[in-house]
Amino acid sequence: MISSRHLPRRAVIKGLGATLALPFLDAMVPAFARAAQLHAASPTRMAFVYVPNGIIMDEWTVPGLDGAFPLPTTFPRILQPAAAYRDQFSILSGLMQDGGRAHGDGPGDHARAGASYLTSAHPKETAGADIQAGISVDQVAAQHIGGQTRFPSLELGCEEGLYGGNCDGRYSCAYSNTISWRTPSAPMPQETSPRAVFERMFGGADIDPDPVRRARRAAYDQSVLDLVLEQAKTLQGTLGATDRRKLDEYLYSVRDIEKRIVQAEQDADVAPPELARPRPGVPQSFIAHARLMFDLMTVAFQTDMTRVITFMIALELGNKVYDEAGVSEAHHGLTHHRGDAGKIEKITQINRFHVEQFTHLLERLSTTNDGDGTLLDHSMVVYGAGISDGNRHHHHDLPTLLAGRAGGRIPTQGRHVSYAPETPMANLFVTMLDHMGVEVETLGDSTGGVAI
């Protein structure tokens, strides 16, 4: 597994109950073929970051002509936190999800928005077990390339939801509480606990079967890095200076994530008894929670544990309160503002707050080396919503940001790309799948690809 001359791309270091995948190192590429193989060894990744309940579009929409480059220096308020990364992403307009519309059904725009966002399918109106939507784009990718990684895909979020009963009109809660669908009748529940994600990523397949020893490890609160320390030291002795630095940075990042999870659990233990206690590993601070999840996404891509991730910042129809954004009222209720300037201002603050958290992911991906570039260079990251105007429940001209260059397949970012009105969002997904090396004839209501 460890060689002084060459490391396989799937090299790991192990300890009892822990397996630590390695980031991409120069030692994984033969010197005589380095330039070509550095590029070839960097796969393209795909991620979708979803925000619920719509956007104040007047504060999102980027002025300028179609294809304008670069994006204007003056951003609308909601996007201002991302301005530093303007050359790393483009704003797409004109895309719609027809599956989110009623089509003769009753109320339920939030359920339809979540269920249709990545499937481009109109969900069946039911609160029973006979749910029906479509296969989502992330799962199409996972089914084609998931066998090349430890996890075909990861489904993450910051707000835990129900998957039974009805949450919106006569629609099952499953529709509004996930955006990922493995089959038309099998939604993929999201994991919201950083501890659970961390253990899934770094817990060894050979976990000690002895419950006494497992309990002893938990009692000592032994770190994943402590468990693999001996092999890590051996490996470092075989690496060149650049790889030693890369490995040190990676190990520091994993340790930092682990410490923050432990701190979150300790904070939950001392929470006042009258407050609802977070689940184990779930920080009380939304900012801390979101950034932990974004850091875990970065490590998952960095180590090639997966190439497909979905992340829901919050649930559709969710009434989360964002005190850290300076708003003490529930999210969904505010979106039905009926033109009230005060409510519009508070929703704008929440929308901007969400973008602020997303820029943490952009920062991590754009500063993490990967082959001949960065993780962001070799990724496609969509940030957006299944509803544009939350007050009127519109499903056209959806707010959409696309970051990354897909390994050079998207040569130019930093633009406003305006598609013809009513262009299916599925057309974007078909093109993204093609950039992942997955060829599909159709997806949902797609009519072809789009130029990015």
pTM: 0.89
Q: Which DSSP category does 36 fall into?
A: H
* 312 belongs to a structural domain: no
Q: Tokens at residue 415, please?
A: 């633009």
> pLDDT by residue (tens digit) across 75-133?
999 999 999 999 999 999 999 999 999 999 999 999 999 999 999 999 999 999 899 99
pLDDT tens column, 212-231: 544 544 544 467 777 787 78
Residue pair 167/173 in contact (Cβ under 8 Å)? The answer is yes
Is residue 451 assigned to a domain?
no
User: Could you give the 3-state DSSP secondary structure of residue 250?
Assistant: helix
Residue 16 lies in a domain: yes
Q: What average pLDDT score do residues 357-369 get? A: 97
Residue 140 within any structural domain of the chain: no
Cα–Cα distance for residue pair 89/398, rounded to 1 Å? 16
Counted residue by residue, the chain has a size of 452
Give 204-238 as a DSSP string. Answer: -TT----HHHHHHHHHHT--HHHHTHHHHHHHHTT
Q: Which residue segment(s) compose the domain that 230 sits in?
A: 1-41+200-278
Site of tokens 């669908």: 181
**Residues 6+ positions from 184 with CB-CB distance below 8 Å:** 119, 121, 132, 133, 134, 135
Q: Tell me what pLDDT residue 35 has.
A: 53
- Does any domain span residue 230? yes
**Per-residue model confidence (pLDDT) at position 2:** 44
Residue 354: inside a domain: no
- Residue 25 falls inside a structural domain: yes
pLDDT higher than 90, residue 269: no
Average pLDDT, the chain: 88
Q: Considering its fold, how many domains does the chain have in total?
A: 1
Question: Is the four-CA dihedral 383, 386, 391, 397 of positive or negative sign?
Answer: positive
Give the mean model confidence (pLDDT) for residues 356-379.
96
The reply to whether 342 falls in a domain is no
Percent helix, strand, coil in the chain, to 5, is 40, 15, 45
